[in-house]
Structure 1
Amino acid sequence: MATAQNRLSTGNKVNSALDNPSNWFTAKGLTNRSGDLNALMDSMANGIQTLKAADNGLSAMTKTLESMQSTLRQARQDKSFNTESLPLAKIDANDPALGKLTLSGGAVGTPLDIDLIKTAKGDSKVATSSYAAPLPAAKASYKADSGMAALTGAEAAAAVNLSLKFGDGPVLPINIASSPGRTTTELRDEIQAIVDASPDYAGKIAFKQGAPGAYSFETIDTIDGEFVIGGTSHDRIFGDSAGPTQFPLSVTGSNGSHDFTINGTKIKVDTTTGADLDTAIASINSQLGEQRSFEAYREPGGKLALRAIVDDAGSLQIGGADAKMFGTPTNGIVAGTNGDLTFARSVDDLVTVINTHASLQGKVRASNDKGKLRLENQSTQDLTIGGKNSTTGKLDGTTGTSTVKGNAVRTGLADQFNELRDQLDKLADDASFNGINLLRGDKLAVTFNETGTSSIDIQTENGDTINSANLGVPTSLEPKQLDSDVTIDQLLADMKIALNQVRSQASTFGSNLSIVQNRQDFTKAMIDTLENGAGNLTLADMNEEAANLLALQTRQQLSSNSLSLASQADQSVLQLLR
């Protein structure tokens, strides 16, 4: 009964090696192995949670990378670039830079010049003045002057044979018969009377006497032209004993101004407006007007010259009294020699030049905005436009500048990208469990059996940390990196690679998690098997033992009852004997 009660209280039929050595030691081995495996279950459970923590981090990083991709795609699609439209002005041919549109800052960086003029071959002509700067001083009386001592009375009394031609006027014969006793003053008056009698020269030419017997033909007031003096008496009145070769027969007179025409427009430069070359150039261009096709400029060497400044200028024709200063007259018209023409670019010309310029593609885009040059700053940085007139606002190659603001939308998207990148690294840092962070390159070792011969080491590829740097994400995205669509496309490609790396690592960890979970389930089953096996060897059949105890208790009770009955019988016999 004691044995039965012990079996029922312990549940084992083998409680020590004394009970059944074979079963005892066999069950003990099975139980020990089960205990060892059960101890590994905690390690497996921790490993599973560590993998789940890493997977949580990778899932969050995947969403963050997808958000960063979306930010870049939004920047790629955004075209809210700022622009400025500039009207073109007539290009000042005297600008030493010959009219430049300068672009700097933005995506351009170092200043880049675009000529506002171009050079081409054509039928138009360029004329250069034969006069170097400054222009010849205009004289009020540039005269044919006597070059000898004053005539004597006898020379004045002799016959006179002269011819006078001035400018485009006819030849005027001056023939005076000899007159005994005629004085030099009387001779002057007689010649003047002949001049005044000519309808072509009356009021234009004066025959003057300086010192007694010294004569000169001079212009009157604003009359301009050229004197041509001939006749057999010229050497006597205007020459000397050396003969007529000592002094020219043709001397240009001046009224103090230079008068000519440029393609029919009258031009006048006097002692004030022609005092120097720069003043003369400004005066000529002012007289030609704002819509001029030709312009005066300073030729290398300091000469006054004329050139085309529009591509449809046509032929250059110079006429008028002083046209000869620009060349040799032909039928009253003067034109320069054929050569390269410099003229202003049209808006369409500039659009073509800017849009085909290799250094500006993807940085600045030009278009024709109703006759104005429209410049689009394809950058997040401010673009500076040089060559704008600060007063008129027109593009004329002067020193004024203006600023076209950068793309604020792309700048803001760059800031968003950087914030997301920072969160990417923080997610990697926070994905730890029980002190192990697989995303930082920590190694997780999980043992599967009691001998340590079956295990798995879980770690990122090459033990690298999964962060923005190792994924190839820019450490700090600058707004200027979003200037170019090509650069954005490259960033998107890099983000795709980074996303694939994260997804690949998540897949690897997922496979590892499946392995550990399978081994956990397998180990649980093995523990049950071992414990059941040990129990089969040592556990008691409670039904059997309970029935056995009950039988023993019944037997004991029956024995007691029998003894009690026997004792009562004996007592009855003793009572009878009394």
Structure 2
Amino acid sequence: MSGIVLSSSVRQNLLSLQSTADLLATTQSRLSTGKSVNSALDNPTNFFTAQSLDNRASDINNLLDGIANGVQVLQAANTGITSLQKLIDSAKSIANQALQTTVGYSTKSNVSTTISGATAADLRGTTSFASATASSNVIYNGTAGGTTAATGTSTLGATLGSLTGSTATAGDGSTALSSTITLIAANGTAASGLVGSAQPADGDTLTVNGKTITFRSGTAPASTGVPTGSGVSGNLVTDGNGNTTVYLGTNASPKATTGDLLTAIDLASGVDTASITAGAATITNSVNQTSSSIAGSKVILKSSTGADLSVTGKADLLKALGLTTSVGGGNATVNVNRTTSAGSLGAEISDGSTLNVDGHVITFKNAPIPGSTGAPSVPTGFGVNGNVLTDGAGNSTVYLQGGTVNDVLTAIDLATGVQTATIASGAATLQTAAGQSNSSINSSGQLKLSTGVNADLSITGTGNALNVLGLAGNTGTANAFTAARTSGIGGITGKTLTFTSFSGGAAVNVTFGDGTNGTVKTLDQLNTQLQANNLTATIDANGRLTISTTNDYASSTIGSSTAGGAIGGTLTTALTFSTASSPVADTVAQTSRSNLVNQYNNILQQIDSTAQDSSFNGVNLLNGDQLKLVFDETGKSNLNITGVTYNSKGLGLAALTGGVDFIDNAATNKVLTNLNSAASTLRSEASSLGSNLTIVQVRQDFNKNLINVLQTGSSNLTLADTNVEAANSQALSTRQSIAVSALSLANQSQQSVLQLLR
């Protein structure tokens, strides 16, 4: 072939056609591959750079699968946590149901005591008291000098007084005065009666120790005609209380005598007594008394031992009796005073004086004790003890003629309730109240009065009884004697009640008072203080205060070595508290709570199963597995996620035991506390997983975008511009056609030569 000679034009056209064919082949290759660089020969720099970018994109793309798996692992764990949270909530519901179930004990541990009169509004109750002893001023007997202490046997009455009048005569001035001389003269015969101006008239009166002697003309009525309650004796009608009517008779037939008048005076002074039966009065001389009399034409007036004698009447009458020197129709007064002695008090109690002791009245009376010889009988409903007449209700009469200091003390004790009297057949049998001591007099002459427990001692009086008995106050000038009882155990003001720490609570120190300055008065205030120590208090209608455990600690025993709560304080020495009782289980409630324990344990089993099943592709972040995610081709960018063990034990939850857990609210609350802690743990882990999932998803998106960037960069280096290549192809096709035509034209000259050869 080398021997073939082509013309220059043919050769030129042929070469052009070859070049166009090469270019067209290249253009068609670019159009078919879409790349302008298909091999290192096309553009070594772009080819190898694009290859590097494609390789990195491929490497990163290979990591996306692992990242996607990691996302699913995290979502599986998150799904598990969500389910575990629901199971925890279900367990909480069971625990809360246990709290709402009847507490597992029919009786909780408690201590109790009774505070008399206590109510929920005032726990201090009705104050009870112990009897105290109060001292009077020193009292003395009648020994000369007035410094000898009286004793219990010192009499209230003194030595009777005696007054002997001057010599007196009948109305004629010569006839000796005697008890038979009438008070009025017979038909004007002076020798048969008192002097005319002295003769009492109808309606005249004498006052003797506050009693009234009335003179009446005429004859004394029969026993059937006297007023009710009065009695007739000779010419006298008496009411039995010292008031007497003297019947004078008439001038034609005088009746009353000076002896009758002296008898009337003795009835008024208490020297004589009158016993009245069916309108008849039996008059006798009182025990240890001396009747007034007339001897040697002289009137001898006698006071009783129980009162001084005071006689007030018309002066002429008293002068006629030789008792005064006063004359006229006006009144004159004659006094006969007693005298004291070593056997009597140094001062004399006035007849009619009273003591008011705690609202009860003690009356001092100048008379012999009823029921004694010649004295009236004991009134119905009353009883006699010594020289004291009592009604059994604290009111008494002390009879001065025989009474002693001991009798006064007895009457005071009856008024205060220190002693009680049982009355039968006119006698009073005394008994000292339990735990109390009778009043007494000490060797110094002080009355030692027991206040009793019914009321603080309060003594007021009339007359001079307060002063005589040394009860007119400590200074001797007061008009009352008072003394307070000793506060007893019922009054708990100022008392303290303590409990040591019970079941982890705060120790209690309660002081009872008026509710101010931290003191406790009401039940609500007490409960406020007890609440912090897991205790609660109630009180019933009888004042029984009961302090028991709260529902939270119904299974614990107050004061036990395990729970604590030992009781103390001054209240426990004043009141007797019961021994702390042990709680009594409620079988029905315990069975109900035991069933809830079983339900709770079933939930724990589901928690274990759920945690075990929360895996993806063999990785379980809730069962302690680890997840490692690589984010770049070098392995330097990665994320390590350490798993947790979130079965029941891992969450701090243990299976419950019937009869131990849910047994009371405290045990239940412990379970709730653990459940709340587990829920908090799950929320924290869910937050951590969410954070990690966000990181992984962000990195997943980043890698996808980075792959796109890398592939775009690679394409930018190798991809062909199809518009350009298409234009090139069209141009090259045209050129090729032209080249073919040119080649054809160039060959025509060769053909012309061929034709010449033919």
TM-score range, shorter chain: 0.3 to 0.5
Larger radius of gyration: 2
Higher relative contact order (CA 8 A, sep 6+): 1
TM-score, scaled to structure 2: 0.35
TM-score, scaled to structure 1: 0.45
Which is richer in helix?
Answer: 1
